[in-house]
C-alpha cells in the first residue's frame, strides 16, 4: 500500500489550504460577472482555483510517495554435466539415449517450481548441455567456483552435479573453496570396477632443449590387473609421417597394482619442434589401448648465446661471472686465457675481456677480428690493464692511468640511466656492497656512453664512470673500470642469502650487450611454438615504414600448411597500428606458416612454424572416482545417487524443507511531483476554469 510522506511537517498543509482559499476569495468573492447568468458559478470557479493553488503549494513541501514491492523468487537449481571424454567413453549408444531422456525428464519436473540452469564443464564452464563429451580435461573445482560466482548471491536451492568423479585439472573439489549455501547432489557416472589396463601414465620432460644437448625424459608406466604379463616400452621420434624407433625396454608386470619409472636420454639433433612417441605394447585382454601411447613435443632451440671469458691471468672474478652467467640456460660460457693456443673468438657471440689489453698482451688483432664479425664485447679493467691501449679499444670513456695506484670504490646507480630497468632493491642495496679495486687516474664518460654506475670513493660520489655501456660503429660495448666483482657476489649472499642483486646487474648488462636487434620491417610473433589441441592459435604482426614507425595500411595474408601439405588461408585483422589473427583450433601435428604483404612496392615475407600437441589426460584415468563425489555431496549436505535414479532427484528436491522460494520486499520512494497524473490534474483544473470563464463571457 503506497504511503505519502513529506520532507517538511505535514501540518504545513493547513497553510497550503489557507493560501488556496485566500487566492480564490481574492479572485471571486466580490466578482459579480457571473451572478446574472449562473449564480453558483463563482463558487465552482473559486473551488477550482482553491484546489489548483492548494495542490501547487503542497508540492512545494516535497511530498514523497513510498511503496513496498513484494517479489517471490523461485529457488535456483543448477544442473551441471561433466562433458569430458572419460564420461563419453561410458555413456554410449542406448545408455546415452536413456540418460538424455532422464535428464530432460528431470529438467521438466523442476521447471514449474524452480529456476533451472544447465551448465556443462570440462575444458571450461559454459551454459547449455549438448552431450557431446569432447572436452579434453575435467576440472570439478572450477565448476563449483563458477556456480558460486554466478548464483551465490541468488536463492540457490540445489546443485545437481553429474560426473564420473575423475578430475585431472585443478584441485580436489572438496578443497575448491566455493562457499555454496546449497546441497550438492552428485550423480555417479562411469564404472568403478578396475579394468585390465596397461598405460603410459605420465611423461616428465622439459618443454625446451638446446641444439646438440642431451636431455632426459622420465616415463611412468602403470598397470592394473595385468600381473605376470610382459610388454615393451618404446621411445620413437615422429618426423612427418615417419616413425623412427630410438630406444626400447622390456616391461615385466609384477603385480595387479603395478608402477615403474624409466629415465631415457635423448639428443636434440635438429632445431625446431621435435615430436616423440612413448608407447607400451598392448597385453592380451586389455580393455583399451588408447592410453598405451603418449606423444610429447619439445622445442629444440638453436639460440644459445656462446660467451667467452678471456682473461690476462687467473682471477676470482672469472668464477663469479661464470657461475652467474651459467645460471641462464640461454648462455654457454667458456673461460680461456690470452696465452692459450687455438683461441677462435669468431665462434662466440660475446667476449668479456678481463684485464685485457694488458702490459704484456696486446689484443688489437683480436679486436679487429671482432669488429669484422660485429661481435659485441665488454672490458673489465683492473690493475693489470694497459689503459693506453684500453683508451684506443673503446669509445665509452677517456682513461688516463698508469695502474700504479688504486682506489677502493663502490658503485652508485646513475639516476638518468634508462636503457633498461633496475629493481628498487638493486638501486638501494648496491651502494652498500664492498668496495672493488679501481686504478687511480683520470676517467671521464664520453657522449657515446650510457653510464650505469658512478664511482663512489669513500663517502664522495664522483663523476667518474664505473660501469658504462654504449655502441661503437654499431657494435655494443661494455666497460667496467674495476676488478673484484667476486666480492659483490659474496657480499650479496652474506646480506640476503642469495645472489639476486648481483645476478640482476650482470644478467641485465650482458643481456643488453648480447641482444641482437631485429631490423626487419615485417615481423610475425607467436605467444608460443607449441599449442594444446584445445587452444586457439593466435598470431601478431608488425609492419614498419622507412622511419621504423608502425603502420598497418596494407593487408597481410597468412598461409598455414600441415604436414600433408593442406593449406589454410587467412587475412590478418588490423588492430591499432598492428595486426592480429586468431586462426582457431588446429588438429594435432606440425605446421608451417607464411605471412606476406606488399608495402611501398616491396614484398615482405615472414615464415615460421608451430606444433599442436594432443591432450591425453582423459585417457589415462579410466576408473570412475565415486569416492570423491560422495565426499563432495556429503560436504555440502547432499546425497550421491546412481545415474539410473537421476529423474527421481526431482521428488527429493521438492521434499526438502530448505529449498523454498524467498520473498523479497523492497521500498521504492518517488517524489510526488514526478507523477504524471498530478500534472494532468493541475492542467485539467486550470483548463476547466478557463473554459467556464470563456464560455460565460468573462474574457
Residue 546, judged by CB atoms within 10 A of its CB (0-12, 13-18, 19+), counts as: exposed
User: For the residues 55-63, what does the mean pLDDT come to?
Assistant: 83
* CA-based end-to-end distance of the chain: 45
pLDDT-wise least confident of 78-82, 239-243, 398-402, 430-434 = 239-243
- Flag whether pLDDT at 425 surpasses 60: yes
Q: Residue 624: its pLDDT value, please?
A: 85
Alpha-carbon 249 to chain mean position? 40
Q: What DSSP designation does 358 have?
A: B
Q: Residue 35: its pLDDT value, please?
A: 62
Q: What is the CATH number of the domain that holds 88?
A: 3.40.50.410
Same domain membership, residue 591 and residue 526: yes
Q: Residue 698: its pLDDT value, please?
A: 62
User: For the residues 635-649, what does the mean pLDDT come to?
Assistant: 90
Single out the residue in 468, 493, 514 at which a domain terminates: 514
Q: Return the H-helix or E-strand segment holding 72.
A: strand 63-73
Same domain membership, residue 504 and residue 411: yes
What residues contact 315, with CB distance under 8 A and at least 6 apart? 354, 355, 382, 483
| Position 430 confidence tier, pLDDT thresholds 50, 70, 90 | very high
Cα atoms in the 13 Å half-sphere on the side-chain side of 206: 16
- Flag whether pLDDT at 654 surpasses 80: yes
Residue-number span of the structural domain to which 502 is assigned: 305-514
- CA-closest candidate to residue 482, choices 587, 626, 381: 381
Same domain membership, residue 457 and residue 545: no
Q: Residue 12: its pLDDT value, please?
A: 83
Same domain membership, residue 651 and residue 607: no
Three-class DSSP category at 478: strand
Same domain membership, residue 529 and residue 480: no
| Position 491 confidence tier, pLDDT thresholds 50, 70, 90 | very high
CB 483, CB 383: distance < 8 Å:
yes
- CA-closest candidate to residue 157, choices 628, 665, 652, 666: 652
Q: Is residue 426 part of a domain?
A: yes
CB 412, CB 406: distance < 8 Å:
no
Q: Residue 578: its pLDDT value, please?
A: 93
Distances (CA, A) of 671 to 20, 70, 519: 22, 20, 68
Strands 406-413 and 436-439: antiparallel
355 Rama sector, left if φ>0, alpha if ψ -120 to 50, beta otherwise: left
Q: Is residue 144 part of a domain?
A: yes
User: For the residues 614-639, what does the mean pLDDT come to?
Assistant: 83
- Flag whether pLDDT at 28 surpasses 80: no
CB 155, CB 662: distance < 8 Å:
yes
Same domain membership, residue 92 and residue 42: no
CB 115, CB 214: distance < 8 Å:
no
Q: Is residue 29 part of a domain?
A: yes
What residues contact 649, with CB distance under 8 A and at least 6 apart? 106, 160, 185, 187, 641
Same domain membership, residue 246 and residue 160: no
Return the exposure string of 294-323: e unless at least 16 CB atoms fall within 10 Å of the residue's CB, then b. Answer: bbbbbbbbeebbebbbbbbeebebbebbbe
Q: Is residue 229 part of a domain?
A: yes
Q: Largest alpha-carbon pair distance within the chain? A: 138
- Flag whether pLDDT at 303 surpasses 70: no
| Position 354 confidence tier, pLDDT thresholds 50, 70, 90 | very high
In 414-532, which ranges are continuous DSSP H helix? 424-429, 485-496, 500-514
Provide the grid cell at 104: 530432460
Q: Give per-residue pLDDT as tens, 552-594.
A: 999 999 999 998 889 999 999 999 899 999 999 999 888 999 9
Q: Give per-residue pLDDT as tens, 90-111.
A: 888 888 999 999 999 999 999 9
Same domain membership, residue 268 and residue 391: no
Same domain membership, residue 691 and residue 638: no
- Flag whether pLDDT at 667 surpasses 90: no
Written as one string, the DSSP assignment of 156-220 is EEEEEEEE-S---SSS-GGGS-----S-EEEEE-S--SPPPEEEEEEEE--SEEETT-EEEEEEE
Q: Residue 699: its pLDDT value, please?
A: 57
- Flag whether pLDDT at 280 surpasses 80: yes
- Flag whether pLDDT at 238 surpasses 80: yes
Same domain membership, residue 270 and residue 237: yes
Q: Is residue 188 part of a domain?
A: yes
CB 64, CB 669: distance < 8 Å:
yes
- Flag whether pLDDT at 489 surpasses 90: yes
| Position 123 confidence tier, pLDDT thresholds 50, 70, 90 | confident
598492428: which residue's cell? 578
Could you tell me the pTM of the whole model?
A: 0.53
| Position 40 confidence tier, pLDDT thresholds 50, 70, 90 | confident
Q: Residue 452: its pLDDT value, please?
A: 95
Q: Residue 19: its pLDDT value, please?
A: 84
Q: Is residue 354 part of a domain?
A: yes
Question: CA 555 to CA 1: how far, in whole Å?
Answer: 66
Q: Residue 135: its pLDDT value, please?
A: 87
pLDDT-wise least confident of 12-26, 355-369, 465-479 = 12-26
Written as one string, the DSSP assignment of 533-587 is TTS-EEEEEEEB-TT--B---S--EEEEEETT--EEEEEPEEETTEEEEEEE---
Same domain membership, residue 364 and residue 477: yes
Q: Residue 268: its pLDDT value, please?
A: 87
pLDDT-wise least confident of 68-72, 160-164, 650-654 = 68-72
Question: Mean of the per-residue pLDDT values for the chain?
Answer: 88
- CA-closest candidate to residue 512, choices 453, 450, 464, 454: 450
Q: Is residue 618 part of a domain?
A: no
Counted domains in the chain: 5
156 or 39: which leads in pLDDT: 156
Q: What is the CATH number of the domain that holds 473?
A: 3.40.50.880
Question: CA 203 to CA 423: how far, in whole Å?
Answer: 38
| Position 507 confidence tier, pLDDT thresholds 50, 70, 90 | very high
Q: How many CB atoms lie within 10 A of CB 587?
A: 9
Question: CA 662 to CA 665: how far, in whole Å?
Answer: 10
Q: Residue 36: its pLDDT value, please?
A: 63
Same domain membership, residue 109 and residue 18: no
| Position 170 confidence tier, pLDDT thresholds 50, 70, 90 | confident
Counted residue by residue, the chain has a size of 699
User: For the residues 644-672, what does the mean pLDDT come to?
Assistant: 83
Q: Residue 519: its pLDDT value, please?
A: 67
Q: Residue 37: its pLDDT value, please?
A: 66
Q: What is the CATH number of the domain that holds 601?
A: 2.60.40.1930
Q: Interior CA angle at 142 toward 137 and 145, to 5°?
A: 170
Single out the residue in 485, 514, 543 at which a domain terminates: 514
- Flag whether pLDDT at 371 surpasses 80: yes
Q: Is residue 593 part of a domain?
A: yes
Question: CA 542 to CA 550: how far, in whole Å?
Answer: 7
- Flag whether pLDDT at 223 surpasses 80: yes
Q: How many CB atoms lie within 10 A of CB 102?
A: 18
Provide the grid cell at 413: 646507480
Q: What is the CATH number of the domain that holds 219?
A: 2.60.40.10
Amino acid at each position: 500500500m503506497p504511503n505519502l510522506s513529506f520532507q517538511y511537517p505535514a501540518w504545513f498543509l493547513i497553510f497550503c489550504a489557507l493560501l488556496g482559499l485566500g487566492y480564490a476569495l481574492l479572485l471571486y468573492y466580490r466578482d459579480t460577472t457571473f451572478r446574472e447568468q449562473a449564480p453558483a458559478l463563482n463558487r465552482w470557479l473559486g473551488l477550482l482555483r482553491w484546489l489548483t493553488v492548494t495542490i501547487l503549494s503542497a508540492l512545494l513541501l516535497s511530498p514523497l510517495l513510498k511503496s513496498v514491492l513484494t517479489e517471490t523468487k523461485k529457488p535456483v537449481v543448477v544442473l551441471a554435466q561433466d562433458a569430458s571424454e572419460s564420461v563419453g567413453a561410458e555413456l554410449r549408444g542406448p545408455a546415452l539415449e536413456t540418460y538424455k531422456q532422464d535428464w530432460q525428464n528431470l529438467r521438466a519436473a523442476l521447471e514449474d517450481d524452480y529456476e533451472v540452469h544447465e551448465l556443462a564443464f570440462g575444458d571450461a564452464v559454459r551454459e547449455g548441455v549438448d552431450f557431446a563429451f569432447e572436452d579434453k580435461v575435467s576440472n570439478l573445482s572450477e565448476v563449483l567456483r563458477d556456480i558460486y560466482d554466478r548464483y551465490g548471491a541468488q536463492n540457490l536451492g540445489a546443485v545437481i552435479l553429474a560426473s564420473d568423479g575423475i578430475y585431472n585439472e585443478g584441485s580436489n573439489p572438496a578443497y575448491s573453496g566455493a562457499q555454496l549455501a546449497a546441497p550438492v547432489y552428485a550423480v555417479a557416472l562411469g564404472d568403478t570396477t578396475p579394468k585390465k589396463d596397461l598405460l603410459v601414465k605420465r611423461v616428465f620432460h622439459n618443454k625446451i632443449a638446446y641444439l646438440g644437448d642431451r636431455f632426459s625424459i622420465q616415463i611412468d608406466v602403470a598397470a592394473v590387473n595385468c600381473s605376470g604379463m610382459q610388454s615393451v616400452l618404446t621411445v620413437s621420434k615422429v618426423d612427418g609421417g615417419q616413425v623412427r624407433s630410438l630406444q626400447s625396454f622390456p616391461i615385466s608386470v609384477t603385480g595387479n597394482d603395478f608402477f615403474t619409472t624409466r629415465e631415457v636420454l635423448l639428443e636434440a639433433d635438429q632445431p625446431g619442434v621435435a615430436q616423440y612417441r612413448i608407447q607400451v605394447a598392448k597385453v592380451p585382454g586389455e580393455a583399451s589401448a588408447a592410453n598405451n601411447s603418449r606423444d610429447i613435443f619439445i622445442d629444440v632451440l638453436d639460440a644459445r648465446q656462446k660467451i667467452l671469458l678471456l682473461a690476462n691471468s687467473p682471477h676470482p672474478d672469472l668464477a663469479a661471472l661464470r657461475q652467474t652467467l651459467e645460471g641462464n640456460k640461454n648462455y654457454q660460457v667458456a673461460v680461456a686465457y690470452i696465452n692459450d693456443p687455438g683461441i677462435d673468438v669468431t665462434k662466440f657471440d660475446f667476449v668479456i675481456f678481463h684485464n685485457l689489453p694488458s702490459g704484456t698482451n696486446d689484443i688489437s688483432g683480436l679486436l679487429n677480428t671482432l669488429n669484422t664479425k660485429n661481435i659485441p664485447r665488454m672490458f673489465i679493467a683492473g690493475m693489470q690493464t694497459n689503459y693506453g691501449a684500453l683508451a684506443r679499444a673503446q669509445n665509452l670513456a677517456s682513461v688516463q692511468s698508469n695502474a700504479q695506484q688504486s682506489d677502493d670504490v663502490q658503485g652508485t646507480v646513475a639516476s638518468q640511466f634508462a636503457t633498461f630497468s633496475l629493481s628498487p632493491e638493486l638501486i638501494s642495496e648496491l651502494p652498500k656492497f664492498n668496495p672493488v679495486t679501481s686504478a687511480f687516474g683520470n676517467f671521464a664518460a664520453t657522449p657515446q656512453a650510457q653510464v650505469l654506475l658512478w664511482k663512489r670513493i669513500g663517502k664522495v660520489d664522483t663523476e667518474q664512470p664505473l660501469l658504462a655501456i654504449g655502441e661503437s660503429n654499431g657494435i655494443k660495448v661494455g666497460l667496467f673500470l674495476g676488478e673484484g666483482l667476486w666480492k659483490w657476489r659474496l657480499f650479496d649472499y652474506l646480506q640476503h642469502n642469495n645472489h639476486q642483486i648481483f645476478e640482476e646487474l650482470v644478467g641485465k648488462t650482458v643481456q643488453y650487450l648480447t641482444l641482437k636487434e631485429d631490423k626487419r620491417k615485417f615481423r610475425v610473433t607467436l605467444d608460443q611454438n607449441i599449442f594444446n589441441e584445445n587452444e586457439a592459435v593466435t598470431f601478431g604482426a608488425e609492419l614498419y615504414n622507412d622511419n621504423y614507425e608502425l603502420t598497418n595500411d596494407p593487408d597481410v595474408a597468412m598461409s598455414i600448411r600441415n604436414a600433408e601439405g593442406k593449406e589454410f588461408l587467412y587475412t590478418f585483422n588490423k588492430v591499432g597500428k598492428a595486426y592480429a589473427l586468431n586462426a582457431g583450433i588446429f588438429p594435432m601435428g606440425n605446421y608451417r606458416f607464411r605471412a606476406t604483404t606488399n608495402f611501398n612496392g616491396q614484398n615482405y615475407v615472414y615464415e615460421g612454424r608451430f606444433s599442436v600437441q594432443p591432450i591425453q589426460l582423459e585417457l589415462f584415468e579410466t576408473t570412475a572416482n565415486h569416492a570423491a563425489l560422495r565426499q563432495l555431496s556429503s560436504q555440502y549436505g547432499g546425497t550421491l545417487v546412481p545415474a539410473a535414479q537421476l529423474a527421481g532427484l526431482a521428488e527429493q528436491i521438492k521434499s526438502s524443507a530448505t529449498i523454498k522460494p524467498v520473498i523479497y520486499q523492497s521500498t521504492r520512494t518517488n517524489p510526488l511531483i514526478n507523477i504524471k497524473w498530478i500534472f494532468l490534474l493541475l492542467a485539467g483544473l486550470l483548463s476547466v476554469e478557463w473554459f467556464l470563464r470563456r464560455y460565460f463571457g468573462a474574457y
